[in-house]
């Protein structure tokens, strides 16, 4: 369908629902318009920002009639900071939208007429839930600021006085680093020109242990006195690890080699009664409370008897595999990040778990070697990145022929696509799927799915 609207045109639109990704969905004589800032039930005046053959994109410029599920956002930075999209949407409506997005993906992409979807698990805490945040440095009127990208912009950062997604400690540490940078006269890095020095601040907090880790990311060169930064941060008794990393590329990355300035090279977190060591770049779910719910669901879906050989693919720091190890014969984890694998091995030792082994490697390229080492898999647990089981990983996972696959997903569309391939090409049926709200006030939704092999192909 050719676009019946033009870029820059103003439209009056009724928002019907939320699309995956967070934009409101409106229809103009059947033509779909995705509206940033529109909530289900709103009537808005919107300006068209982009037109395509089958749809258009627009930004809400005014709410003419507010939705009954529209609420006042509590954050002073809401609407400017790009961190939280839905603080102005009632939480029950957020849950309903996320559950529906998982259902729609399974129907539309997975081609499952009646998905076996279970009710979404709501977040235990709607605010203060993140155990990791990555801030960017920028120049403000009062000097150096630390914050997040402006909503809808990659090239502009908004300074933050208080973030409601972290703890009081997290906010205090960020402000202390900001004040240190101002005192030292250090310049923020400019993404567009490539000039400047300060790039990012990474803050991690063990929510069940009270331990905190801080990492400063800069451009090349030692332009500050490490000892003074350490003194500033050691005022917080919870800070156990202070680190410095250099990013010498134009890309906005924090996953770069780092150097320990003071303290331990890792902090610990506790999940489901197990202790986990976390270094600056090691992966762990950023909502500790809901990670416990997520992993408990994975354990429930796996329904281990003690006799199973379990493959934990994209194992990260071993959290899921080690949570399952008590009910398994053996757990074998694979992860491309060597730093995460080192943590996983340490975590097994830390918890006295002797039936779990972890290896560094690309999942798609490592499975044949893993089978020769570990034998046949009875249960496969996958927790892939947003792209899902991309490339060889999907087919090689299917070819393992395990009786069960427990699929933890952070993207309903790639989950549905992978489920369709596993069903059509490898004889798996989707038995259960349950969305989990790990990230309130954002468009993101996790889910846990159980697939069982019903055909021998």
Angle between helices 412-426 and 392-399 (to 10 degrees): 50
* Helix residue ranges, H only, 118-225: 168-184
pLDDT (average), residues 21-43: 93
pLDDT-derived band at 1 (thresholds 50, 70, 90) equals: low
Is the confidence at residue 456, as pLDDT, over 60?
no
pLDDT in tens, 341-369: 999 999 999 999 999 999 999 998 999 99
How long a stretch of residues is the chain?
A: 457
Is 132-271 in the same CATH topology as 10-65? Answer: yes
Residue 357 per-residue DSSP state: E
**Three-state DSSP state, 367:** helix
**Three-state DSSP state, 119:** coil
**Three-state DSSP state, 289:** helix
Residue 223 pLDDT: 96
pLDDT in tens, 121-141: 999 999 999 999 999 999 999
Q: Does residue 441 contact residue 128 with C-beta atoms inside 8 Å?
A: no
Residue 185 per-residue DSSP state: T
pLDDT (average), residues 311-322: 96
Q: Does residue 324 contact residue 310 with C-beta atoms inside 8 Å?
A: yes
CA distance 302 to 280: 30
- To the query of whether residue 315 is one of the catalytic residues in this protein, the response is no
pLDDT (average), residues 32-56: 93
pLDDT (average), residues 276-296: 94
Is the confidence at residue 79, as pLDDT, over 90?
no
DSSP bridge pairs for 36:
59
Q: Does residue 351 contact residue 322 with C-beta atoms inside 8 Å?
A: yes
CB neighbours of residue 366 within 10 Å: 20
Q: Does residue 203 contact residue 173 with C-beta atoms inside 8 Å?
A: yes
pLDDT (average), residues 80-102: 93
pTM > 0.75: yes or no: yes
Q: Does residue 170 contact residue 201 with C-beta atoms inside 8 Å?
A: no
Does residue 277 or residue 456 have the better pLDDT? 277
**Three-state DSSP state, 455:** coil
Q: Element (H or E) spanning 364, and its range?
A: helix 363-374
User: Torsions phi, psi of 415, nearest 5?
Assistant: -55, -50
Among 2.10.210.10, 3.40.50.11540, 2.40.50.140, 3.30.470.20, name the CATH number for the domain at 10-65: 2.40.50.140
Least confident of 34-38, 272-276, 282-286, 426-430: 282-286
Q: Does domain 132-271 have CATH number 3.50.50.60?
A: no
CA distance 278 to 340: 8
- Burial class of residue 31 in the structure, from the number of CB atoms within 10 Å of its CB (0-12 exposed, 13-18 middle, 19+ buried): middle
Q: Do the bridges between strand 43-51 and strand 24-28 make them parallel or antiparallel, or are there none, so unpaired? A: unpaired
pLDDT in tens, 367-401: 999 999 999 999 999 999 999 997 899 999 999 99
Q: Does domain 98-124+287-453 have CATH number 3.40.50.150?
A: yes
pLDDT (average), residues 296-302: 98
Residue 152 pLDDT: 75
List Cβ neighbours of 312 (8 Å cut-off, separation of 6 or more): 318, 320, 321, 324, 331, 332, 333, 334, 381
Q: Does residue 319 contact residue 271 with C-beta atoms inside 8 Å?
A: yes
List Cβ neighbours of 5 (8 Å cut-off, separation of 6 or more): 11, 28, 31, 33, 48, 51, 56
HSE on the CB side for 281, CA within 13 Å?
20
pLDDT in tens, 217-233: 999 999 999 999 999 99
Rounded to the nearest integer, the mean pLDDT of the chain is 94
pLDDT in tens, 157-206: 999 999 999 999 999 999 999 999 999 999 999 988 999 999 999 999 99
Catalytic residue among 81, 163, 315, 410: 410
Listed by start position, the domains of the chain span 10-65, 98-124+287-453, 132-271
List Cβ neighbours of 55 (8 Å cut-off, separation of 6 or more): 3, 31, 32, 33, 34
Residue 434 pLDDT: 98
């Amino acid at each position: 369908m050719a676009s019946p609207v033009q870029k820059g045109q103003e439209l009056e639109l009724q928002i019907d629902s939320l699309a995956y990704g967070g934009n409101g969905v409106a229809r103009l004589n059947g033509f779909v318009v995705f509206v940033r800032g529109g909530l289900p039930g709103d009537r808005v005046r919107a300006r068209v920002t982009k037109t395509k053959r089958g749809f258009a994109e627009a930004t809400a410029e005014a709410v003419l009639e507010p939705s009954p599920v529209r609420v006042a956002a509590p954050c002073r930075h809401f609407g400017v900071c790009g961190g939280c999209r839905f603080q102005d949407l009632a939480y029950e409506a957020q849950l309903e939208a996320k559950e529906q997005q998982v259902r729609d993906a399974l129907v539309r992409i997975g081609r499952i007429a009646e998905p076996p979807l279970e009710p979404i698990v709501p977040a235990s805490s709607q605010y203060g839930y993140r155990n990791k945040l990555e801030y960017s440095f920028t120049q403000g009127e009062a000097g150096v600021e630390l914050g997040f990208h402006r909503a809808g912009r990659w090239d502009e950062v908004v300074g933050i006085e208080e973030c409601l997604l972290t703890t009081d400690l997290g906010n205090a540490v960020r402000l202390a680093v900001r004040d240190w940078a101002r005192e030292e006269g250090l310049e923020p890095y400019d993404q567009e020109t490539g000039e400047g020095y300060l790039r990012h601040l990474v803050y991690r907090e063990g929510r069940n242990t009270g331990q905190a880790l801080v990492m400063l990311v800069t451009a090349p060169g030692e332009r500050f006195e490490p000892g003074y930064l350490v003194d500033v941060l050691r005022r917080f008794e919870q800070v156990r690890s202070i680190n410095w990393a250099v990013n010498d590329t134009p890309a906005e990355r924090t996953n770069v080699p780092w150097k320990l300035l003071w303290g331990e090279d890792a902090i610990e977190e506790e999940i489901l009664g197990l202790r986990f060591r976390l270094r600056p770049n090691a992966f762990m779910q950023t909502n500790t409370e809901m990670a416990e719910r997520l992993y408990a669901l994975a354990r429930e879906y796996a329904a281990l008897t003690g006799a199973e050989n379990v493959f934990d693919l994209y194992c990260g720091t071993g959290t899921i595999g080690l949570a399952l190890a008590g009910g398994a014969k053996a757990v074998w984890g694979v992860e491309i990040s060597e730093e995460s694998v080192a943590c996983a091995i340490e975590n097994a030792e830390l918890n006295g778990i002797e039936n779990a082994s972890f290896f560094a490697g690309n999942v798609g390229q490592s499975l044949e070697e893993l089978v020769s080492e570990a034998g046949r898999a009875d249960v496969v647990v996958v927790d892939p990145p947003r792209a899902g089981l991309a490339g060889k990983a999907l087919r090689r996972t299917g070819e393992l022929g395990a009786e069960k696959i427990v699929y933890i997903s952070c993207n309903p569309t790639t989950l549905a696509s992978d489920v369709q391939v596993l069903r059509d090409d490898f004889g798996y049926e989707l038995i259960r799927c349950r969305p989990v709200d790990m990230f309130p006030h954002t468009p993101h939704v996790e889910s846990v799915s159980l697939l069982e092999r019903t055909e021998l192909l």
